Amino acid sequence: RIVYVNGRYVPYADAQVHVEDRGFQFADSVYEVCEIRAGRIVDEARHLGRLDRSLEELRMPAPMAESGLRVVISEVLRRNRVREGTVYIQVSRGAARRDFLFPHEATPPSLVVIARGIDPSKSAKAAQSGIKVITTPETRWDRVDIKTTGLLPNVLAKMAATEHGAKEAWFVDRDGFITEGGSSNAWIITADDRLVTRPAEHGILRGITRTTLLDLAAEEGLAVEERPFTPDEVKAAREAFVTSATNILMPVVQIDGHRIGDGRPGPQVTRLRARFHDIAA
Ligand code: PDD
């Protein structure tokens, strides 16, 4: 297995970044996870666009031009013969003697690209039974629209979910509304057949899968409401699901131990999941 680290393709076991890398010390780093399907990156332009935005928001220099990054990613996929799976891209502000202030501008940013083959039948199988979610108080900062590796609240929330026999944790803000999952966006389908998901201006990451699903919904003329919703609305919903690059659409069949609908993946989410790649770029 081969990984790209700062200009070199190295065996997985030898892939290292410096002990004073700012990603390690300050979570001063941003990342992307993209789905690989039939050897291609799904929604590549959107992922690279979001990476660019994350960098800009944090005034972090780009490690290379977008065209170069595309070459590195496809080379990592090629060298690992990954046709189905994910690619992980991480950029940090580089390695420098520990200091809160940004390092000297000549400090090169770190870039790591890791590909992983995943059997897509695993996710398909999980989608047949659906997943359970728990709710947990929102404890993250208010710039979760930037995809940084500062993911400790997400780690703890998803650990708590696992300890409760669930797969995902949905954060609930101070006003009692769900923001999103620890590593996914949250959706419901109401009894009157409306797709509801929180607006992307505040409190959530603007998921690429979310955006592409909104395109699909528009193409199909489905009713969509971008508004916050509560755990009680989830319990009363016909269907619920999460979106992420790793699981596309994944049905949610329980929240905090309450069954959603009849407790099985609903027809609409199952259908949208099957249609998703017809529209994803
Ligand atoms: N997570 N919200 C959060 C907090 C996320 O971490 C993610 C993705 C999403 C969904 O975004 P997208 O559809 O672009 O994957 C929403 C990735 C998969 C991860 O951290 O592994």
Domain with 108 in it: 2-118
- Give catalytic residues, as residue numbers: 147
Residues 267, 142, single domain; the answer is yes
Instruction: Characterise 43 by phi-psi region: left (phi > 0), alpha (psi -120 to 50), beta (else).
Output: left
- DSSP assigned state of 21: B
Residues contacting ligand 1 via CB (< 6 Å): 33, 180, 183-185, 205, 207-210, 243-246
CATH code for the domain in which residue 156 is found: 3.20.10.10
174 CB-near residues (< 8 Å, 6+ apart): 138
pLDDT at 15: 96
pLDDT at residue 201 in the model = 85
Task: Give residue 202's pLDDT.
Answer: 75
* Average pLDDT score over the chain: 97
Q: Are residues 217 and 131 in the same domain?
A: yes
Nearest CA owner, ligand 1 atom 11: 207
Same domain, 132 and 269: yes
Closest atom, ligand 1, to C-alpha of 182: 4
**The pLDDT of residue 82 is above 90:** yes
Same domain, 141 and 208: yes
What pTM value is reported for the model? 0.97
Give, using CA atoms, the residue closest to atom 5 of ligand 1. Answer: 183
Q: Ligand 1 centre from 242 Cα, in Å?
A: 10
pLDDT for the residue 20: 98
* pLDDT reading at 224 higher than 90: yes
62 and 138 co-located in one domain: no
Last residue of a domain, one of 67, 99, 118: 118
CA of 183 to the centre of ligand 1 (A): 4
Final residue of a structural domain among 100, 118, 136: 118
Considering only CA atoms, which of 107, 37, 19 is closest in space to residue 77? Answer: 37
In this structure, the answer to whether residues 104 and 194 fall within a common structural domain is no
Q: What is the pLDDT of residue 31?
A: 98
Domain count, the chain: 2
From the list 157, 170, 132, 28, the residue with the least C-alpha distance to 90 is 28
How does pLDDT run across 254-280, given as a tens digit for each residue? 999 999 999 999 999 999 999 999 988
Same domain, 108 and 174: no
The predicted pLDDT at position 109 comes to: 98
Q: Are residues 194 and 96 in the same domain?
A: no
CATH number for the domain that contains residue 47: 3.30.470.10
Condensed to tens digits (0 to 9), the pLDDT of residues 159-208 reads: 999 999 999 999 999 999 999 999 999 999 999 999 999 999 879 999 99
Last residue of a domain, one of 52, 85, 118: 118
ipTM of the complex: 0.99
The verdict on 162 and 274 lying in the same domain is yes
Q: Are residues 97 and 140 in the same domain?
A: no
Give the pLDDT mean for 102-124: 96
